[in-house]
Amino acid sequence: MRFTDERSSSTHPNNGQLRTDGYGRVTADTQADESTCPGSLIVVSNRQPYRHEYEDDEEAAAETASRSIEVDEPTGGLTAGLDPVVQESEGTWIAWGDGEADFDVTDEDNCVAVPPAEESYTLRRLDLSDEAVDSYYYGFSNRVLWPLCHGFTDLVENRSNDFDWYRTVNERFADAVSEHATDDSVVWLQDYHFALAPGMIRESVPQSTTIAQFWHIPWPLARTFQHCPAGGSLLEGLLGNDLLGFHVDRYAERFLDCVQRYVPAASVDRSRRVVRYNGTTTRVVATPMGVDAESYDRDARSVSDAAASELLERYDISPENVIGLGVDRLDYSKGIPERLAALERFFERNPSWHGEFTFVQSCSLSRTNIRTYERHGDLVRSEVTRINQRFGTDDWTPIVYTEDYLSNDELCALYRRADVMVVSPLCDGMNLVAQEYVAASVDGDGTLLLSDRTGAHETLGSHALTIDPADIDGFASQLEVAVAMPLHGRQRRIRTLRNRVFDGDLEWWMDTQFDWIRRVHNERRSDTRHGGATRGTDSGAARGTDSATAQDRPSDSNSGQSGDSDASTEMDSGSDSGSGSDFGSGSDFGSGSDSGSSSNSDSDSNPDSDSDTDPPEYTSTV
């Protein structure tokens, strides 16, 4: 049983006016200068924009005495958005080279010109050992920082040597930056893999070089951050940035709370969101990231009826059913078990929807070599099986669960066909899936259920159906509202959501980022010309050496775990991480550090209040 109202027409004028209010995006000419970098751009990210892989297997290659190489190119998201910007600036991109053939095509400096046809910029690859990847990426980044920043303190695993490797890899990235940076360079780091690198880079690049970073995941409450091993060093490292960006205001405020509480030597101006520490001024900003809305709109419109029907047939879904959809990485932060519980409650309370409503849950496997993720996947699969056995019939599967790879065209077909989209993370920095769905809802009658614990809720929450993912009864009630909503109500909501998604798309986000970068870049160059204060090379804050304020900062005391000798010698970068001095326990972090923090602030704001309305921590179900 479909909704009784007809779906609105999918026709669209070919005039580029993708908003629903009749106003198209401004032309490329009017934005020509907004997405350009003010200096030579150096992007630093864990993942690389281009990957070289062998096309054939080793046995086939043995017969021909050579192996052909293919290039995987960016297909979407931030990487695809940044690639043309780096091309335009003829800059440098520094990343981990994880492709099988990556270092067969680089020069002696591990550099290769990309894209393959144009060779517009330099891709500098870092060759990380398996142990480095396990400890830096799968270890400290995703066993400590990821769960901590999402509020899952019970899932934090502080394994021996993980932080030593995290610091060593950050040093290697910082060293690579220093080899490419000039007086006019802009260094732009991406995400939580590089919390120490900004301070390290500041020590080794020209004073006029601008350092910026965008933190793509949530920033935790101060009382949650106190559980972070080596938290003081992380904060000091991030304060090496001239510009530090978050998705939404509450994450920026939480970061300032942590600095004010745990770095007493820092001067925090809450009204201007500026931190002065150790000779560097860090401006903290909030700019919600968007998606390439025009691309999702275009791809959704290109989906044929036959392709959509084939997709439903593949998963044995009746084309007459109302369809709900969830698209997630298989991650404990996404609230999938809570979503399944809400669906179960919905089916309990609404037997009339049995056989008429099908929920499609698409999950992509993630970090499967971390035991927590493996257990979470087992839980999700078992719950789907149990609910389907309880309610399903020979002709109807209530929850269609798949871990199949879906192409972008298939994903857009699902987005367009779904009547109800459920985005219910327990905590999420932004959540781009919600925006992708809205952009692909070209028929103008989809309904979005959106967790109030996502960054996206701040811009989309007023016209989505808001859910508290932990309130199972309330969640089920919103599902009932969604499937019963009249056509005019769905159209009104999605129309406003589409306007907001198109206005705040990836292009807008990039423009805003470079507006801020341009501003701080000009300020730094002006300060340098006039002899303004800059961080001196003797601070040592990020590399674990003693600084002038070491006695004031939160304890990063030695936990008795000695550094791994390989970690401190790989690509000998001068690391003194072998001392293990940056390992700290949650109980030691911030001990006594609340005292005096207010006197070092330029604001009367009280960081101890933790007035954020979100719950500070979650108890894992895995």
User: What averages of pLDDT result for each successive group of 10 residues across the chain (622 residues)?
Assistant: 42 38 41 65 96 79 72 83 90 96 96 94 97 98 98 97 98 98 96 98 95 98 96 98 98 98 97 96 97 96 92 96 98 98 98 98 96 97 98 97 96 97 97 97 97 98 98 98 98 98 96 95 78 44 35 35 37 35 39 37 40 54 66
**What pLDDT, on a 0 to 100 scale, did the predictor assign at position 37?**
81
* CB neighbourhood size of 12 (10 A): 12
pLDDT number for residue 240: 98
Q: What is the Cα gyration radius of the chain?
A: 25
Closest CA to 128 of 156, 105, 95, 160: 95
Q: Which domains does the chain have, with CATH numbers?
A: 39-123 (no CATH), 128-289+509-601 (3.40.50.2000), 293-503 (3.40.50.2000)
Burial-class residue 609 by CB neighbours within 10 Å (0-12, 13-18, 19+): exposed
Calpha distance 582→98 (Å, rounded): 28
- Around 175, how many Cα atoms within 13 Å sit in the side-chain half-sphere? 16
- The span from the CA of 343 to the CA of 476, in Å, is 6
One-letter amino acid at 90 equals E
- What is the Cα–Cα distance from 427 to 351, expressed in whole angstroms? 31
CB distance 209 to 528 below 8 Å? no
CA distance 294 to 138: 34
CA dist., res. 492 & res. 435, Å (int): 17
CA distance 575 to 581: 12
Torsion of CA 514, 515, 521, 527, to 10 degrees: -170
Q: Is the CB of residue 434 less than 8 Å from the CB of residue 224?
A: no
**Nearest residue to 308 via CA among 461, 412, 208:** 412
* The pair of three-digit structure tokens given for residue 2, joined into one six-digit string: 């479909």
β-pairing, 69-72 vs 51-54, is: antiparallel
Which run of H or E residues covers position 400? strand 399-402
